[in-house]
Amino acid sequence: MPSPRYWREIPSRYRLEATRCGNCGRVSHPPRGVCPACCGTDAQNLELSHEGKVVTFTVVHVPPGDFLMEAPYVLAVVETPEGARMMIQVADCDPASVEIGMPVALEFRLIRKEGKSGILCYGHKAVPAYPRGEEEGADLESREMEVAHA
């Protein structure tokens, strides 16, 4: 059976729910009734953007038994625009290509099978996100060219 913790966290796993403290503005994910920063109890529900950036990360070479992914894989702390931070796997990329500050999209994916029961657990994974619109990229390139010529 999936762990009690898994069931308890389903709403936040499935919808990327968080809370924002009405007192100090701290965003918590998973949601918390009591603010970890100021102990305020005026928590407002918030759905996070499905995007963020890598704050820090580690490459895992020996995964826990029931995870489906193959090592090595990247486990990162990702921060959303709302200021929530979460520990999440970065999928669909070469671990060597992951860097701090890298933009990612948060996608709903199959995470693992739990034990021998084979129950499938779903959650979010981060995948590399690329800048929207080619114009932005072109601008950046031409700026880099200018720097190179200077």
Least distance in Å: CB of 40 to Zn ion?
4
Smallest distance from Zn ion to CB 32, Å: 10
Select 35 or 78, whichever has its Cβ closest to Zn ion: 35
Spatial contact of 49 and 81, defined as CB atoms under 8 Å apart: yes
CB of 116 to Zn ion, least distance (A): 42
Please report which residue ranges of the chain form alpha helices under DSSP H: 4-8, 10-15, 134-149
Cβ-contact 100, 55 below 8 angstroms: yes
> Other CB atoms closer than 10 Å to residue 123's CB: what's the count?
19
Residues contributing to the site for Zn ion (CB under 5 A): 21, 23-24, 26, 35, 37-38, 40
With tokens 């486990």, the residue in question is 75
Cβ proximity to Zn ion: between 39 and 100 the closer is 39
* Nearer of residues 80 and 89 to Zn ion, judged by Cβ: 80
